[in-house]
Structure 1
Amino acid sequence: MNDTTHRPSLALARVRSGDDVLWTVRAGDAYAPLGITLSELLALPREEARATVERAGGKAATASIRVDAVLAPVDPAQEVWAAGVTYLRSRDGRIEEATDGSPYDRVYVAERPELFFKATGRRVVAHGEPVGGRADSTWDAPEPELGMVLDARGEIFGFVPGNDASSRSIEGENLLYLPQAKVYTAACALGPEIVPAWLVTPPFDIAMTIVRGGETVFEGTTSTDAMARTLADLADWLFRGLDFPDGTIVLTGTGIVPGADFTLSPGDEVTIDIAGLGTLRNPVVSVGR
């Protein structure tokens, strides 16, 4: 199932158990039913949501269920959003790909951040499932990112590793092509689990490794303390113009950007590790035509 190398002691996991798909709290190696969905949990007042998670976690040893698969940690109808140019390296990388890089310079220092829609929950792929590169793109890159899980009031409920896979060639051709560069089949991976915010404290160290044919072809590291914006600021801007009664997940930008001489290829394996949150690993496939 999921990678156990760096996983936390307690987390929320969406799983398949027999014919059922349900939310659980994993405590150690045991999974106990949460009793409600993530959407319902994020609609609760913060302290009630925490008590619900802790109550289920306390029952894990005695009420553990069989887990056949760990699924993407998001409800099908929930939305995933993303922020861009929150790290200096991201700004430089997008200037490198663009025919006109000045908008990236301006948004990096602007009061208003870049925020864009990324995926619906049903389009998110889980740990171990293939992440996509567009068949009509010549330059594709994974983007390892901290995902923050926001409740219905815009407060940070938890964190999850994410991959905001992107076509750099399509975005670089014209900024108006950003939706096509960011939103396509299998362009968003999350997982394996959500770690409640009260159990971990930012900043987080992030590492990414890409393996091709059994050999490492790229390695990079960063930390969320290199972000030019705060997590609370990103959440505030998103909720200024939108409401999320079921909560939402926001990918917070990447500080690891492979150079212009690198593009993903089908068969590659991308591993994203965020200290304290877990490891997200996905093979790469070509999608579209």
Structure 2
Amino acid sequence: MLPLSNHAPNATFVGRIWREGTGPCLVTLRGDMVVDITSKTAPTMRDLLDMDDPAGYVASAQGEDVCTLAELSERSVESADQDALRLLAPCDLQAVKACGVTFAESMVERVIEEQAAGDLDAAAAIRARVAARIGDSLSGIVPGSDKAMEVKKILQAEGLWSQYLEVGIGPDAEVFTKGQPLSSVGCGASVGLHPVSKWNNPEPEIVLAVNARGEIKGATLGNDVNLRDVEGRSALLLGKAKDNNASCSIGPFVRLFDATYSMSDVETAELTLKVTGEDGFVMDGHSSMTKISRAPADLARQTCGPHHQYPDGFFLFLGTLFAPIKDRDAKGQGFTHHVGDAVEISEPNLGTLTNTVRLSPDCPHWTFGAGAFMRNLAARDLI
């Protein structure tokens, strides 16, 4: 599947690829051609997004044709050859941050995880009890509002208050570090599960591209791979649940804000998910940004401001509505990944992000960090 089949002809896409014998390069799409626009002016995605008008720069930038989009898509698969042409995650020096519990339905699933303490067998009974007590009382609620505080008191009296409900309807959003700069994988790569996890799932999300000034310059897709049992045992295990080798996938490209695409398109995005297992299992999912509890711009403001600066910018996962409860291995146990699962996350304006599920130790190890990146750019006389 092409990552951007039938993409809008006037859209401004920018991304990163690995070129053989060269290393990471900035690219854009012109028609169906992938064009290398790496230069001293914009050697990195960080530099590009820090411009006042990234889309305008990309539209006029001189470049070199690399290959067709179809060829890049075909070659962007896991390979033992780490110098092979392939798509990379579009972020480079940016921090990779994520917001959790931003949708009411997925918030309820987090409560269930906590109540079950990571026990997959206990989840079904807890799900039924929590649903009976909470119902639709959280739908449409504005976090931090007077109504939200009233619901909080009711839930506390019912013995159902949770740390997940606190960040779901309280004044402060959950914002955590999903991955380190340059650690994310791109479209076509394998995504990794920590071997200790037996209950996990994909999380299809919109990811904002934000520069050093806190300005949102575009958006892309992401898979915030989630270990439900690890995080369910204790919220203090969030780092182990979220940040592992190849556990963060972003791409295929950033669509820059311009006359054809804006924040309003982000706020009305409709994401679809498809998981296809080697065992024949198929699961379809959906996440509508129209149901998010917190405005994306507010999530960016809670991440970056006088309280916290990001001199290289950041990519921000916005959370997901998707709550995977379809039974796979046994009745009442819901969904969990199998090694070999193919995951497709799609959105009409942003394309399709595809990855194959492996165990983290079996994915190509992350070896190209900031030091290697700087040496590579210096050797190419780009910095």
| TM-score exceeds 0.5 | yes
Looking at secondary structure, tell me which structure has more helix per residue: 2
CA contact (8 A) 2:344 2:355 kept: yes
Please provide the CA RMSD for this pair: 2.0
| 2: CA distance, partners of 1:43 / 1:92 | 38
CA contact (8 A) 2:204 2:271 kept: yes
| 2: CA distance, partners of 1:255 / 1:190 | 18
Report what 2:319 is aligned to.
Answer: 253
Looking at secondary structure, tell me which structure has more strand per residue: 1
CA contact (8 A) 2:247 2:360 kept: no
Correspondence list, 1:37-52, <5 A: 37-44=44-51, 46-47=52-53, 49-52=54-57
Residue among 134, 137, 149 paired with 2:197: 137
- Any unmatched runs of 5+ in structure 2? 73-84, 118-160, 326-332, 363-383
- Partner of 2:168: helix, strand, or coil? helix
CA contact (8 A) 2:346 2:353 kept: yes
| 2: CA distance, partners of 1:242 / 1:86 | 21
CA contact (8 A) 1:210 1:270 kept: yes
Report what 2:3 is aligned to.
Answer: 3
CA contact (8 A) 2:209 2:217 kept: yes
Relative to structure 2, which stretch is displaced further, 35-44 or 173-182? Answer: 35-44
- Partner of 1:98: helix, strand, or coil? helix
The one-letter amino acid of 1:188's match is C
- Partner of 1:193: helix, strand, or coil? strand
Aligned-residue offset at 1:287: 2.1
- Partner of 1:16: helix, strand, or coil? strand
- 1:218 paired to 2:264: no
- 1:72 paired to 2:73: no
Report what 1:97 is aligned to.
Answer: 113
Give the share of equivalent positions with the same residue, in percent: 30
Aligned-residue offset at 1:6: 4.8
Relative to structure 2, which stretch is displaced further, 231-240 or 193-202? Answer: 193-202
Report what 1:120 is aligned to.
Answer: 180
Report what 2:344 is aligned to.
Answer: 271
Report what 1:235 is aligned to.
Answer: 300
| 2: CA distance, partners of 1:106 / 1:78 | 28
Report what 1:14 is aligned to.
Answer: 16
- Partner of 1:176: helix, strand, or coil? helix
Report what 2:209 is aligned to.
Answer: 149
Q: Deviations over 1:45-80 (max 9, x none)?
A: x23x33212212xx56xx4234632221111x3211
Alignment size in residue pairs: 282
Q: Deviations over 1:122-161 (max 9, x none)?
A: 2211111110111101111110000000011111101111
The one-letter amino acid of 1:55's match is S
Q: Deviations over 1:75-107 (max 9, x none)?
A: 1x3211000011112101111111376111121
| 2: CA distance, partners of 1:33 / 1:128 | 19
Residue among 98, 110, 119 paired with 2:170: 110
The one-letter amino acid of 2:91's match is V
| 1: CA distance, partners of 2:352 / 2:211 | 23
CA contact (8 A) 2:55 2:257 kept: no
The one-letter amino acid of 2:248's match is C
Alignment TM-score, normalising by the size of structure 2 = 0.70
Alignment TM-score, normalising by the size of structure 1 = 0.91
| 2: CA distance, partners of 1:116 / 1:110 | 16
Aligned-residue offset at 1:18: 3.2
- 1:206 paired to 2:206: no
The one-letter amino acid of 1:71's match is L
- Any unmatched runs of 5+ in structure 1? none
